[in-house]
Amino acid sequence: MNAIDAIAAQLQGYDPQAMTADGVRDFLARLVTPVQDTIETPLFEALGRVLAADVVSPFDVPPHDNSAMDGFAFSGAELASDAALELQVAGTALAGKAWQGSVQPGQCVKIMTGAIMPAGLDTVVPQEFVQLRRTGEVETITIPAGLLRLGDNRRLRGEDLAQGQPALQKGELLTPARLGLAASLGLKTLTTWRPLRVAYFSTGDEILSLGEAPREGAVYDSNRYTVFGLLSRLGCQVIDLGVVRDEPALLEAAFTDAARQADAIITSGGVSVGEADYTKAMMKKLGDVAFWRIAMRPGRPMAVGRISSLKLAAGASGAGAESYQNESKGAVLFGLPGNPVAVMVTFLAFVRPALLQMMGATPAPLPLLKAHSREALRKKPGRTEYQRGWVSTAPDGSLQVKTTGSQGSGVLRSMAEANGLIVLHHHQGNIAVGDEVDVMMFDGVV
């Protein structure tokens, strides 16, 4: 049994003609498998990669008790609740240059942020809180009563991370903060999964590549660029195969080329019902593919499966037939609809989580925010709708959202004007002004 049929058999009431958005995510989670190869990745190249091993702290961070402020270190035991404290400055501790002397009762040490706390001292008074007096060579500070408690403005050794404690976990996406944390542990490289290779091409005889002269009925290929952007933000290596004409030989060559190089293939166009083209036929011929009708808007049709390199190898003639990389399972296929907004929405809703899983990332659905709708929205229960929205802060501090222009599934402008998608769930009906809706933000994602 092929992978599609095997998964279908596990699912209750699977109907390719009546998929729900959740059903699609569930199916894809069963279809895809994470990459297996790891690489030692230098920190500057690791942003957006996925950790393939836990990172354990080799030492305490910070390695010593140190000061959180520029000020004066002293012994907190000397503080009295009802009287100001007067201390003589015995020396200076600089960041990177510890003060080696010993401190007598009644003394303090001038200290800079990050400097190691002198032995026996446990509290820092920020410099702006003290009165400083100088008599000849002798400096004295006065700390007002009731201002501080023992331990204030001191960072404890190991406070960030104790030695041997996992600092970062396998499956975590490497963000700027995580790169910084790895660097703070002295690590020059991290063990990551290799980046995912994703091939993309647009289909359709009416699709023009940039540089081609306009002609009647033809449109420029925008999907190539949105998909490129979406994949790049995800940290995938994009294999760009451009526009492929609706001819069997060209389509076969494109799928073959894609399956040979890539872990996943994304196409746009040619999967709608009644589509008079060869794309679907070629997907069927070269792979195990399901053609779905999804209860959602935009983005109803979608093809999903695997383009098997074994089938390709059997069908391929001559050189290169043995060099297919996805020998056993083939490349995962995401055949997206052609409409530019449908492409982005299906990518965000379905392809992105599936690719993250393939990248070895621990699943973490995009958080949905709650915002008050500034307008009434018509919505039929029984399908999931994604509307393009602009989220802003209302005068009372809560979040509010309104749609951006025409919601036609080909209208890219309203997508370009949006900062998030309003998610109207399967069972939801009409939305009244002021109702709370879920919003998926683009920021940092798209």
Alpha-carbon separation of residue 265 from 48, 220, 254, 315, 355 (angstroms): 20, 21, 10, 19, 11
Query: Considering the complex, what minimum distance in angstroms separates the CB of residue 200 from Mg ion?
Result: 16
Q: Which is nearer to ligand AMP, 103 or 207 (CB)?
A: 207
Residues 392-431 that bind ligand AMP (CB under 6 A): 410
Q: Which stretch binds ligand AMP (CB under 6 A): 266-274, 369-377, 420-428, 429-437?
A: 266-274
219 contact, one of ligand AMP, Mg ion, none, CB 5-8 Å limit per kind: ligand AMP
Yes or no: say if 193 and 37 are a contact pair by the CB < 8 Å rule: yes
206 contact, one of ligand AMP, Mg ion, none, CB 5-8 Å limit per kind: ligand AMP
From residue 210 to residue 239, the character string flagging contacts with ligand AMP as x (rule: CB under 6 A) and all else as - is ---------x-xxx----------------
Q: Which is nearer to Mg ion, 269 or 340 (CB)?
A: 269
Residue position matching structure tokens 């995401």: 334
Helix axes 248-261, 279-286, angle to 10 degrees: 50
Q: Which is nearer to Mg ion, 305 or 338 (CB)?
A: 338
- Tokens found for residue 92: 């200076």
Binding residue for ligand AMP, selected from 41, 66, 202, 346, defined by CB under 6 A: 202
80 contact, one of Mg ion, ligand AMP, none, CB 5-8 Å limit per kind: none
By the 10 Å C-beta count (0-12 exposed, 13-18 middle, 19+ buried), 102 is classed as exposed
248 contact, one of Mg ion, ligand AMP, none, CB 5-8 Å limit per kind: none
- Tokens found for residue 393: 């802060």
Contacts 24+ apart (CB under 8 A), 411-415: 411/341, 412/222, 412/226, 412/340, 412/341, 414/341, 414/388, 415/340, 415/341, 415/344, 415/388
Query: What is the C-alpha to C-alpha distance for residues 198 and 230, in angstroms, rounded to an integer?
Result: 11
Q: Which stretch binds Mg ion (CB under 5 A): 69-77, 159-167, 177-185, 264-272?
A: 264-272
Coil, helix or strand for 346? helix
Query: Considering the complex, what minimum distance in angstroms separates the CB of residue 184 from ligand AMP?
Result: 44
User: Is 340 one of the binding residues for ligand AMP (CB under 6 A)?
Assistant: yes
Residues 324-363 that bind Mg ion (CB under 5 A): 338
Residues making up the chain, counted from first to last? 446
User: Torsion over CA of 104, 106, 109 and 113, rounded to 10 degrees?
Assistant: 130
From residue 268 to residue 297, the character string flagging contacts with ligand AMP as x (rule: CB under 6 A) and all else as - is xxx-x--x----------------------
Query: Considering the complex, what minimum distance in angstroms separates the CB of residue 59 from Mg ion?
Result: 59
Binding residue for ligand AMP, selected from 204, 235, 330, 360, defined by CB under 6 A: 204
Alpha-carbon separation of residue 396 from 212, 228, 372, 393, 435 (angstroms): 51, 39, 12, 8, 15
User: Is 206 one of the binding residues for ligand AMP (CB under 6 A)?
Assistant: yes
Query: What is the C-alpha to C-alpha distance for residues 18 and 383, in angstroms, rounded to an integer?
Result: 10
106: left (phi over 0), alpha (psi -120 to 50) or beta: left
Q: Which is nearer to Mg ion, 195 or 269 (CB)?
A: 269
User: Is 269 one of the binding residues for Mg ion (CB under 5 A)?
Assistant: yes
Query: Considering the complex, what minimum distance in angstroms separates the CB of residue 291 from ligand AMP?
Result: 12
Query: Considering the complex, what minimum distance in angstroms separates the CB of residue 406 from ligand AMP?
Result: 15
Yes or no: say if 337 and 347 are a contact pair by the CB < 8 Å rule: no
- By beta carbon distance, the residue nearest ligand AMP is 338
Yes or no: say if 108 and 89 are a contact pair by the CB < 8 Å rule: yes
User: Torsion over CA of 241, 244, 249 and 253, rounded to 10 degrees?
Assistant: 10
403 contact, one of ligand AMP, Mg ion, none, CB 5-8 Å limit per kind: none
Yes or no: say if 271 and 300 are a contact pair by the CB < 8 Å rule: no
* 222 closest CA partner among 249, 202, 204: 202
Query: What is the C-alpha to C-alpha distance for residues 135 and 137, in angstroms, rounded to an integer?
Result: 6
Alpha-carbon separation of residue 347 from 136, 310, 311, 362 (angstroms): 73, 27, 27, 18
Q: Which is nearer to ligand AMP, 19 or 174 (CB)?
A: 19
User: Is 310 one of the binding residues for ligand AMP (CB under 6 A)?
Assistant: no
Query: Considering the complex, what minimum distance in angstroms separates the CB of residue 411 from Mg ion?
Result: 17
222 contact, one of ligand AMP, Mg ion, none, CB 5-8 Å limit per kind: ligand AMP
User: Is 71 one of the binding residues for ligand AMP (CB under 6 A)?
Assistant: no
Q: Which residues of this protein are in contact with Mg ion, per CB under 5 A?
A: 204, 269, 338
Q: Which residues of this protein are in contact with ligand AMP, per CB under 6 A?
A: 202, 204, 206-207, 219, 221-223, 268-270, 272, 275, 337-340, 410
